[in-house]
Amino acid sequence: MVHIDFEKFNKVGLKPILEKFDKASLPVADVEADNKAKRESGFQVKTAIINFESGQKLLLKAKAGGSIFQVKLNNKALAIKHVDDLDKAILEVVDYVKENEKNYQKQRDKQLARQKVVVPKIKPANASTAEQIAQFQTTLDETKAADEELNAQAMDAENANAEKSNMEAALENELNGLVAEGDALQSEYDQLKEVAP
């Protein structure tokens, strides 16, 4: 039977619980727990945040003696029926996390889809060669920043589940387009630099 060690309410002390999540195909990426007690509602309470690889966050609060005080999934409080039976309580939490997984991934996919990078367009102007070079350099810098942002988004997408494969392909195409545009801008910039006085 699993129990909470209030004296070691950290990654080491929570290992039996983390193993239960792992067996339920809910791998944990990280645990944030400083093992420091705080008084809440008249009780000594310790807090741990369990970060799942899917991105979901589980906040677990325990009272002195090892009983569950509060459980939140992605900042939403969960109603745990078996607060005094940790084995059953963990099964309840596993069900909540799995049930929420698909909705959580859909929300993350929508957020990633909304984060489209806008590459600034160069407006044709009657500017001197030096001004055009400065304008090209600014645009090139912005394109590189956009390229880095897309790289970061692509890394996030790789850590998500297989449902994101379509988004990864779209990001990759957009990234290739930006790289090609960046190369073209660099080439144009180099040509202007050669003719600049």
Domain residue limits, the chain: 6-107, 115-195
For residue 169, pLDDT beyond 80: no
Please, which residues have CB within 8 angstroms of residue 55's CB and are 6 or more apart in sequence? 104, 108, 160
For residue 49, pLDDT beyond 90: yes
Angstrom distance (rounded) from CA 62 to CA 45: 6
Backbone dihedral region for residue 55 (phi beyond 0: left; psi -120 to 50: alpha; all else: beta): left
pLDDT single digits (tens) 3-33: 677 888 888 888 888 888 889 888 899 999 8
Using CA atoms, how far residue 157 sits from 55, 76, 169, 186, in Å, is 11, 25, 10, 28
Tokens describing residue 157: 């997408």
> Nearest Cα to 164, choosing from 155, 152, 176?
155
Our measurement of the distance from residue 184's CA atom to the centroid of its chain's CA atoms, rounded to an integer in Å, reads 33
pLDDT single digits (tens) 50-81: 998 888 899 988 888 777 778 898 888 888 88
pLDDT single digits (tens) 79-124: 888 777 778 888 888 888 888 887 777 777 777 777 765 666 655 5
For residue 128, pLDDT beyond 50: yes
pLDDT of residue 164: 55
Tokens describing residue 121: 């367009």
For residue 165, pLDDT beyond 70: no
